[in-house]
Amino acid sequence: MKHILSKLVKDEKGAINIGGIMMLGISMVFLAVGFIFLPISTSAAADLLAYEYSANTSITDATYTGFTSVVGITPLLILVGFLAAAVISGMLGIKIMKGAGSAKADPGSLMLLGLSIVFISIGLIIEPVMLDGISSVVHGSGTGISSSFTGYESVIKVSPLLVHLAFLASAVLSGFFGIKRLASSTKD
């Protein structure tokens, strides 16, 4: 029996690569957070799509250029983003465990990963407040936007879309650079 076992484990050295295990663990965290965020982001997007300005109910989410369609697809984008981060982290973890790279667990890269989640959360919390502020400018105490400001109305009406996309882009970029810094592809 001892002879059979020695043949089975003759190539094993007994060492594990903790960096690969860490990347696989981060992959599972991204997977879990993606499905935790799905109902939250869906509810927040539904609230944004049902937006009406309190002083003038004719000012809704549809008043703003492109905002409705982008907000409608946001929960799916967030889920796909977290799933993609989980797959990429998992693949990097497997690559590291095979010895093709190394992992650096520096606090900066972990903070970047955390910031990707924070940017999405802050964006979903702050957007209704931002919509109220922009709607008050569009309403203009019942007179609307003054025609003396050339091009101002166009910029104001696209602002909610730009703010929404900025929060999504910042989440994607911080998550990407966090994963990239955490799993360096250099051979030791």
- pLDDT at residue 9, rounded to an integer: 55
Distance of CA 177 to the CA centre of its chain: 12
> Residues 115-133: what's their mean pLDDT?
87
- State the pLDDT at residue 186: 45
Hey, what are 24's tokens? Answer: 């696989």
In 3D space, the residue among 30, 25, 173, 31 whose CA is nearest the CA of residue 93 turns out to be: 25
Is residue 11 in a domain? no
Q: Is residue 8 part of a domain?
A: no
pTM for the model stands at 0.74
Helices 67-97 and 152-182, packing angle to 10 deg: 10
Taking the C-alpha atoms of residue 17 and residue 120, their distance in angstroms, rounded to an integer, is 32
CA separation, residue 25 to residues 48, 61, 92, 179 (Å): 34, 39, 11, 12
Give per-residue pLDDT as tens, 93-107: 888 777 766 666 677
Number of domains making up the chain: 1
Q: Is the pLDDT of residue 8 over 70?
A: no
Confidence (pLDDT) at 10: 60
- 48 contact partners, CB below 8 Å, separation of at least 6: 61, 71, 127, 128, 131
Does 187 score more than 80 pLDDT? no
In a domain, 153, yes or no: yes
Cβ-count burial 48-78 (b if 16+ within 10 Å, e if not): beebebeebeebbbebbeebbebbeebbeeb
Structural domain contains residue 124: yes
Domain assignment of residue 7, yes or no:
no
Average of pLDDT values for 10-39? 80
Which DSSP category does 137 fall into?
H
> For residue 165, what are the domain limits?
17-184
Helix, strand, coil shares of the chain as percentages rounded to 5? 75, 5, 20
